[in-house]
């Protein structure tokens, strides 16, 4: 369908297409970071951590508070920008990681042996609590936010296909974090403990793995990734902070995790980029795309779950009830 539209539209149409793909890739990089949090937690305790999107939202709030505290109100550049970004990523990651561990300890751990739906309902409750504390604190509206990146374009073709510094930053940071995560999971003792627990908690326990610590570590990692994603999202694409960001963003990221195969780390990354691109193309090409793109993404979620619940890279049995 798109190729036909492109053929008709000529070079300008192709540039539009490239731009939609670029928007999709940058959005997808952030979805991937958040999707990793869903997939890590699901992989290890088979819980859809419904509150994960709201942990991400709290990361955006922390970013906002820090930026305000630092007195930054407009674009900055050079090493100053690098320093600020590093500080933000570390602070938001620590905050979200600790928040996620706290949630696990208070709300999920007591329900670990309860019927399957109990922790899911607890997660929904936590999501509500996180969202509404933010709403009471920040008010129901979106709070505008300065864009930190200089808007100098690296590539600019006819004002149609534009690549800016921030696009590069998003993708590079996301890829670095994902590489580090994959080294951690595959190459360290703690990572091996995580994989063992995901495979069979009881056997892992018998082998001397401390299950509680491992699960807490997983929540810490997932939260930290969401925090990093939140910084990237806030400083480069969103332009606002909002208590309700986490709901839709979380669902998109969850869709990404399912699309790639939930429980599979590479799958989450692949799914993140795919969802980003699907969204970018829907906004660009569908009539009233900004309304319909949500329906398209959820439609993808429904179709994947119905026809290929294991996702693209997942090999798990999907319907453990």
Measured from the CB atom, the residue of 73 and 288 that comes closer to other proteins is 288
Nearest to 54 by CA among 233, 255, 248: 248
SS3 of residue 241 by DSSP? strand
Max CA separation in the chain (angstroms): 64
Tell me: does residue 186 bind other proteins (CB under 8 A).
no
Measured from the CB atom, the residue of 236 and 310 that comes closer to other proteins is 310
Distance CA 164, CA 70 (A): 24
The CB-of-224 to other proteins minimum distance in angstroms stands at 24
Contact mark string toward other proteins, 144..183, x via CB under 8 A = ----------------------------------------
The CB-of-271 to other proteins minimum distance in angstroms stands at 14
CB 203 within 8 A of CB 196: yes
320: phi then psi, degrees, rounded to nearest 5 = -80, 115
**Lookup result for tokens 């890590």:** 40
Distance CA 242, CA 103 (A): 21
Contact mark string toward other proteins, 239..258, x via CB under 8 A = --------x---x--x---x
Site for other proteins in 43-82 (CB under 8 A): 46-48
The helix, strand and coil proportions of the chain, stated in percent and rounded to the nearest 5, come to 75, 5, 20
Among 7, 124, 186, 315, binds other proteins (CB under 8 A): 124
H-type alpha helices, 46-164: 52-70, 78-103, 117-138
Tell me: does residue 201 bind other proteins (CB under 8 A).
no
Q: How many residues bind other proteins (CB under 8 A)?
A: 48
Distance CA 198, CA 201 (A): 6
Tell me: does residue 138 bind other proteins (CB under 8 A).
no
Distance CA 264, CA 299 (A): 22
Distance CA 316, CA 43 (A): 10
SS3 of residue 25 by DSSP? helix
CB 286 within 8 A of CB 293: yes
Site for other proteins in 294-313 (CB under 8 A): 294-295, 298-299, 301-302, 305-306, 309
Nearest to 109 by CA among 13, 41, 23: 41
**Lookup result for tokens 């332009």:** 239
The CB-of-212 to other proteins minimum distance in angstroms stands at 11
The CB-of-127 to other proteins minimum distance in angstroms stands at 8
The CB-of-232 to other proteins minimum distance in angstroms stands at 25
Tell me: does residue 136 bind other proteins (CB under 8 A).
yes
Site for other proteins in 101-120 (CB under 8 A): 107, 110-118, 120
Tell me: does residue 122 bind other proteins (CB under 8 A).
yes
Among 18, 135, 150, 190, binds other proteins (CB under 8 A): 135
Measured from the CB atom, the residue of 19 and 127 that comes closer to other proteins is 127
Contacting positions for other proteins (CB under 8 A): 46-48, 107, 110-118, 120-122, 124-129, 131-133, 135-136, 140, 247, 251, 254, 258, 288, 291-292, 294-295, 298-299, 301-302, 305-306, 309, 318-321
């Amino acid at each position: 369908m798109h190729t036909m539209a492109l053929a008709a539209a000529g070079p300008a149409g192709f540039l539009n297409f490239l731009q939609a793909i670029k928007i999709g890739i940058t959005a997808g990089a952030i979805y991937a970071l958040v999707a990793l949090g869903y997939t890590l937690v699901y992989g290890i305790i088979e819980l859809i951590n419904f509150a994960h999107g709201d942990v991400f939202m709290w990361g955006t709030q922390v970013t906002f508070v820090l930026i305000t505290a630092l007195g930054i109100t407009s674009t900055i550049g050079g090493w100053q920008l690098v320093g600020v970004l590093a500080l933000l990523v570390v602070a938001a990651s620590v905050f979200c990681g600790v928040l996620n561990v706290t949630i696990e300890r208070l709300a999920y751990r007591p329900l670990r042996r309860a019927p399957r739906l109990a922790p899911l309902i607890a997660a929904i409750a936590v999501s509500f609590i996180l969202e509404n504390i933010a709403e009471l604190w920040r008010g129901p509206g979106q709070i505008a936010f300065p864009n930190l990146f200089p808007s100098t374009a690296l590539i600019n073709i006819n004002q149609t296909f534009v690549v800016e510094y921030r696009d590069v930053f998003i993708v590079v940071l996301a890829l670095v974090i994902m590489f580090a995560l994959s080294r951690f999971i595959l190459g360290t003792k703690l990572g091996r403990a995580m994989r063992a627990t995901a495979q069979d908690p009881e056997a892992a326990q018998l082998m001397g793995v401390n299950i509680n610590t491992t699960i807490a570590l997983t929540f810490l990692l997932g939260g930290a990734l969401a925090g990093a994603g939140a910084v990237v999202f806030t400083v480069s694409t969103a332009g606002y902070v909002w208590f309700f960001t986490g709901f839709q963003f979380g669902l998109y990221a969850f869709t990404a995790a399912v699309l790639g195969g939930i429980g599979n780390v590479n799958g989450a990354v692949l799914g993140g980029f795919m969802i980003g691109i699907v969204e970018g193309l829907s906004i660009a090409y569908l009539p009233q795309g900004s309304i319909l793109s949500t329906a398209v993404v959820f439609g993808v979620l429904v179709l994947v779950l119905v026809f290929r619940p294991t996702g693209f890279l997942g090999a798990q049995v999907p319907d453990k009830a």
